[in-house]
């Protein structure tokens, strides 16, 4: 039998209860969650004791068209947008899924690991299954335990389910409530006057409320018009702790941009300003990380640093290694969170673990974090999402304050992570006395000037779009750099891959002669990161080496695209396409030079007709391992 996991990586769940027509609200919520999954969608609406479902395969538009043809109204309900890895994205497999009588429905995100054994038992107890998804088992299990009270039935069902998941359930026989469960995958509850919302992430409910309850592991919420009740998995009542979210709802909309990703690229000057706001002062000549729950003695006690992350966040981790080692002179190791658990790492005493995760929910990252927590080491997490799982497993949190990032390709989360790492490096340098006061002042002044330099790159976006015209038809790209710029080469290649489906590799420029030079021909665009700090002889030396690498590629007919200091005649002359920037110090240059690479990937993808905000086969955060 084929096991069709209903929603392995991530899906979007949205529920509404209140005085308004639930259908447009749920559809709006799903629209904002569509980035989480976009291969099928469905809604379930309860009117009186009547439960109706509409489901469609394909993007949300298909469901909208179906609802236009077969309207549905009611008092409350829930919806789901799906991202499946196993099984076809058919209407039959789309959520919500029903029990035998169609009186209980469930929308689910994650995996039910013991689905097969539960299904066998339920079938022998007389239940009839319509789909091959794991989700349907939840609906039947709730039905099995249901005696008029939905939350009691959910709690009993929960005790039999194994896996990492979140789900919502409604019943036509216990109406006026939505039950939400968190068991490893994210789910939040929003509360407003006489209204309740359930969603997979915060931006989905921001148009209605900023009062948010982040469900913790093994918690069950009952959302009704007159309020929210919270229980642990044993049914013990808990006091809901609502948090006020300062994100503006319009921050989670496209705001006139064609794509979320483009909007998020353009938000970077403001995002960086927000990240560093109040976290340093030129008056005190210090970084102030008072919002990070470590004492000065704790900060001072760290002798080693280990940074763990996945994907783009791993690239910022790698750049962070260069920053912290050079600026604060502490040894730093960087690991893929997804790999960390599959070896037996040696952890030295006084090691600070830093986890970096935009979403705060990446399963591999959180699992590695739990393993580290069990070893007793101190954990700092850098994340963008208030209340996310990573914040609960950490000793201290440094928020990136980038605002909601909706585009699947990470942009402003990345540059704000880099800004956080820069602050940490300077903070540690001050504690360990590795920089002089004058050097700290210069490093902080450079930070003040950074948003303006980012603006200047964005003003030149048209030129980057022009460059993309010459490149978007190529099948392979190389991104080359040295030193702290190497992680940015990796990031440039990842952006191009995920957005435009062009094969691209990031490589240390000095390694080319050890093999990859064989790839170079007149069909190969090679992107070089050649910016340098004019006040640093070491940085200039690195630039000269990059210039040599450019000449090596040029002499083999490769197509040279370079990002470098404005008015740099040698670089301009050696390049087929040159993208200028106003330089800054070596450790802030990555934040500048990644912008042209984001724009290049964006425009190549637009020209190739790719889905910018929802690239194929991907999801915004990967909430199973
Ligand atoms: C990058 O554009 C991707 N979206 C992906 O590599 C992402 O950075 C990775 O999945 C980690 O996500 P996180 O930062 O939310 O943990």
What does the mean pLDDT of the chain come to?
Answer: 92
| Among protein residues, the one whose CA lies closest to atom 5 of ligand 1 | 311
Structure tokens at 361: 């929910």
Q: How far is the CA of 622 from the centre of ligand 1 (A)?
A: 8
Q: What is the pTM of this model?
A: 0.76
Q: Please give the pLDDT value at position 186.
A: 84
- Judged against a pLDDT cut of 80, whether residue 155 lies above it is answered with yes
**Annotated catalytic residue: which of 177, 321, 430, 620?**
620
Mean pLDDT (whole number) for 255-273: 91
H/E/C letters for each residue in 148-213? Answer: CCHHHHHHHHHCCCCEEEEEEEEECCCCCCEEEEEEECCCEEEEECCEEEEECCCHHHCCCCCEEE
Atom of ligand 1 nearest to the CA of 622: 10
- Dihedral sign (CA 15, 17, 19, 23): positive
- Among 505, 88, 538, 532, smallest CA distance to 326 is for 538
Q: Is the CB of 565 under 6 A from ligand 1?
A: no
Q: Given pLDDT bands bounded at 50, 70 and 90, which one contains residue 58? A: confident
Ligand 1 neighbour 409 (Cβ under 6 A): yes
Q: Is 400 in the pocket of ligand 1 (CB under 6 A)?
A: no
In the predicted model, is pLDDT for residue 4 greater than 50?
A: no
Active-site position among 11, 310, 604, 610: 11
Q: Report whether residue 312 contacts ligand 1, using a CB cutoff of 6 Å.
A: yes
Q: State the distance from the centre of ligand 1 to the C-alpha of 37, rounded, in angstroms.
A: 15
Span from the CA of 309 to the centroid of ligand 1 (angstroms): 9
Structure confidence at residue 202 (pLDDT): 87
H helices present in 460-535, as ranges? 461-471, 486-500
Told to judge if 620 belongs to the known catalytic residues of this protein, a careful annotator would answer: yes
254 classed as catalytic: no
**Given a cut of 50, is residue 85 above it in pLDDT?**
no
Rounded to the nearest angstrom, the gap between the alpha carbon of residue 420 and the centroid of all alpha carbons in its chain is 16
Judge if the beta carbon of residue 362 lies within 6 A of ligand 1.
yes
Which residue did the predictor score with more confidence, 584 or 93?
A: 584
How remote is the C-alpha of 7 from its chain's centroid?
17
- d(C-alpha 157, C-alpha 423), whole Å: 47
Query: In a 3-state reduction of DSSP, which class is residue 481?
Result: strand
Give yes or no for residue 264 CB within 6 A of ligand 1.
Answer: no
Closest alpha carbon to 192 in 334, 26, 20, 394: 20
């Amino acid at each position: 039998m084929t096991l069709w996991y209903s929603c392995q990586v991530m899906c979007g769940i949205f529920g509404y209860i209140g005085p308004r027509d639930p259908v447009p609200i749920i559809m709006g919520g799903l629209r904002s969650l569509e980035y989480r999954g976009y291969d099928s969608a469905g809604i379930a609406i309860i009117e009186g004791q009547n439960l109706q479902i509409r489901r469609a395969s394909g993007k949300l538009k298909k469901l909208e068209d179906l609802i236009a043809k077969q309207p549905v109204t009611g008092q409350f309900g829930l919806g789901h947008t799906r991202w499946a890895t196993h099984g076809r994205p058919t209407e039959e497999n789309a959520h919500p899924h029903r029990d035998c009588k169609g009186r209980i429905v469930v929308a689910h995100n994650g995996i039910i690991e013991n689905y097969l054994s539960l299904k066998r038992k339920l079938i022998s107890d007389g239940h009839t299954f319509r789909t091959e998804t794991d989700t349907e088992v939840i609906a039947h299990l709730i039905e099995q335990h249901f005696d008029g009270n939905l939350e009691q039935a959910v709690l009993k069902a929960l005790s039999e389910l194994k896996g990492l998941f979140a789900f919502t359930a409604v019943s036509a026989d216990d109406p006026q409530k939505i039950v939400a469960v968190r068991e490893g995958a994210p789910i939040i509850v929003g509360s407003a006057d006489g209204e309740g919302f359930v969603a997979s992430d915060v931006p989905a409910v921001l148009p209605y409320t900023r009062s948010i309850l982040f469900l913790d592991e093994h918690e069950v919420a009952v959302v009704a018009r007159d309020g929210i009740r919270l229980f642990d998995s044993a049914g013990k009542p808990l006091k809901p702790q609502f948090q006020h979210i300062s994100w503006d709802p319009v921050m989670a909309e496209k705001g006139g941009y064609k794509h979320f990703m483009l909007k998020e690229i353009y938000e970077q000057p403001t995002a960086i300003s927000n990240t560093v706001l109040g976290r340093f002062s030129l008056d005190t000549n210090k970084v102030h990380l008072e919002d990070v729950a470590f004492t000065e003695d704790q900060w001072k006690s760290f002798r080693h640093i280990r940074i763990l992350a996945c994907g783009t966040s791993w690239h910022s981790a790698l750049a962070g290694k260069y920053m912290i080692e050079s600026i604060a002179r502490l040894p730093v190791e960087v690991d893929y969170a997804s790999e960390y658990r599959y070896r037996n790492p040696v952890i030295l005493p006084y090691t600070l673990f830093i986890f970096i995760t935009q979403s705060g929910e990446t399963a591999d990252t959180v699992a590695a974090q739990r393993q580290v927590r069990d070893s007793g080491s101190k954990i700092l997490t850098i994340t963008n999402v208030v209340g996310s799982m990573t914040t609960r497993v950490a000793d201290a949190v440094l928020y990136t304050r980038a605002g909601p990032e909706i585009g699947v390709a990470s942009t402003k989360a990345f540059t704000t992570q880099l800004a956080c790492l820069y602050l940490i490096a300077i903070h540690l340098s001050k504690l360990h006395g590795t920089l002089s006061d004058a050097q700290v002042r210069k490093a902080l002044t450079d930070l003040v000037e950074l948003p303006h330099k980012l603006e200047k790159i964005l003003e030149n976006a048209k030129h980057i779009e022009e460059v993309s015209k010459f490149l978007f038809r190529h099948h392979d790209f190389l991104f080359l750099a040295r030193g702290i710029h190497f992680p940015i080469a990796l990031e440039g290649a990842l952006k191009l891959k995920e957005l435009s489906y062009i094969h691209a590799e990031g490589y240390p420029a000095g390694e080319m002669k050890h093999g990859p030079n064989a790839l170079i021909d007149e069909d190969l665009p090679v992107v070089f990161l050649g910016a340098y700090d004019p006040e640093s002889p070491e940085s200039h030396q690195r630039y000269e080496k990059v210039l040599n690498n450019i000449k090596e590629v040029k002499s083999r007919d490769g197509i040279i695209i370079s990002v470098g200091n404005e008015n740099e005649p040698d670089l301009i002359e050696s390049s087929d396409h040159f993208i200028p920037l106003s330089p800054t110090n070596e450790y802030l240059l990555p934040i500048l030079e990644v912008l042209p690479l984001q724009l290049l990937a964006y425009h190549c993808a637009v020209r190739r007709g790719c889905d910018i905000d929802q690239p194929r086969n991907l999801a915004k955060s990967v909430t199973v391992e």
